[in-house]
Amino acid sequence: MTGADDDALLRLDGIHTDIGRYRILHGVNLTARRGRVTALLGRNGAGKTTTLRTIMGLWKARQGRIIFDGQSIAAMDTPHIARLGIAYVPENMGIFGKLTVRENMLLATAPNGFAEPYLNRVLESFPALKLKWDSAAGSLSGGQKQMLAIGRAIVEPRRLLLVDEPTKGLSPAMVDQLVAALRRLKSEQTTILLVEQNFRVAEAIGDDVAVMDEGRIIHSGDMAALAADEALQHRLLGLRMAAGL
């Protein structure tokens, strides 16, 4: 991983995070390389969401270092971290249901409003958002809300995207659309740390992979290697069914 460390945009070293009295992360070491998609896999309760929330400063690391582009961010507050160019798409999507689609997007822009090229990219990737532009976001379908959540994250230039289970609960057609949008971002060299339960999606997008269990990284390496090794998938993820997902 020496080469990986050289082009690491984000690096977590020995991160421990507690929620209340419970320790959830037990020394997580994780790297997200520039311009690549790192898929973070693991069963429910493994600590994937906690890892993303710790990176965003929503839960504070009790111990360890988080280095973003050479800068330590573990002690920073969430707004400061966001302003470094890190966008977060939470598992619940974080949509403001009473605001319109336009207002949801506007909140994620710089003070001078929408940057046309980025807005156009979002609307090309997710045409449904254009049709619902002035509708309350709460009236969107689950898939449209996910499009809005991801669109909002990329309506400004970002250096790192943290995306938590974007395909959860979506129809296959909607999943395909999201995968296409994430692939487009990948082709534009956007660095993405993607938490995903659907191995087929993670395999389709991911360059690198890290697998978590009980608050630790138990495997990291190339996605292609994991995708090619069914026995390893089964051992790490219990995924004999991976092919069927």
Partner 1 sequence: MSEHWLDRLQRWAPYALTPLIVLAALPAMGVGPWVTLTVAGLTMGIMLFLVASGLTLIFGLMDVLNFAHAAFVTVGAYVTVSVLRPLAGWTTEFSLTLNLIALLVALVSAAAASGALGFVFERVIIRQVYGAPLRQILITIGALTVIEQLVIVLWGPQALVLPKPASLRGSVFLGSSPIETYRLVALAVGLAVAVAMHLFLTRTRLGLVVRAGVEDREMVQSLGYHIRRVFIGVFMAGTALAGMGGMMWGQYQELVTSQIGDSMTILVFIILIIGGLGSVGGCFIGAILVGLTTNYVGFLAPKLALGSNILLMALILLWQPRGLFPLAEH
Residues binding partner 1 (CB under 8 A): 56, 58, 77-79, 82-83, 88, 90, 94, 96-99, 103, 106-108, 111, 152
* Rounded Cα gap, residues 87 and 56, in angstroms: 9
Q: Closer to partner 1 by CB, 13 or 91: give it.
A: 91
* Rounded Cα gap, residues 52 and 59, in angstroms: 9
* Nearest to 151, CA basis, from 176, 173, 184: 184
Q: Closer to partner 1 by CB, 4 or 82: give it.
A: 82
Q: Closer to partner 1 by CB, 77 or 222: give it.
A: 77
Residue 140 Cβ vs partner 1, minimum distance, rounded to whole Å: 14
Sign of CA dihedral 14, 8, 86, 164: negative
Residue 99 Cβ vs partner 1, minimum distance, rounded to whole Å: 6
Give phi and psi for 224, each to the nearest 5. -60, -40
Q: Closer to partner 1 by CB, 195 or 209: give it.
A: 195
Q: Closer to partner 1 by CB, 82 or 179: give it.
A: 82
Whether the CB-CB separation of 177 and 142 falls below 8 Å is answered with: no
Q: Closer to partner 1 by CB, 78 or 197: give it.
A: 78
Residue 73 Cβ vs partner 1, minimum distance, rounded to whole Å: 14
Q: Closer to partner 1 by CB, 71 or 187: give it.
A: 71
CB-based contacts of 171: which residues, under 8 Å, 6+ apart?
Answer: 143
* Rounded Cα gap, residues 49 and 145, in angstroms: 19
Q: Tell me which residue has tokens 């990284």.
A: 217
Whether the CB-CB separation of 177 and 197 falls below 8 Å is answered with: no
CB-based contacts of 223: which residues, under 8 Å, 6+ apart?
Answer: 39, 202, 203, 206, 207, 208, 209
Helix or strand or coil: residue 205?
A: helix
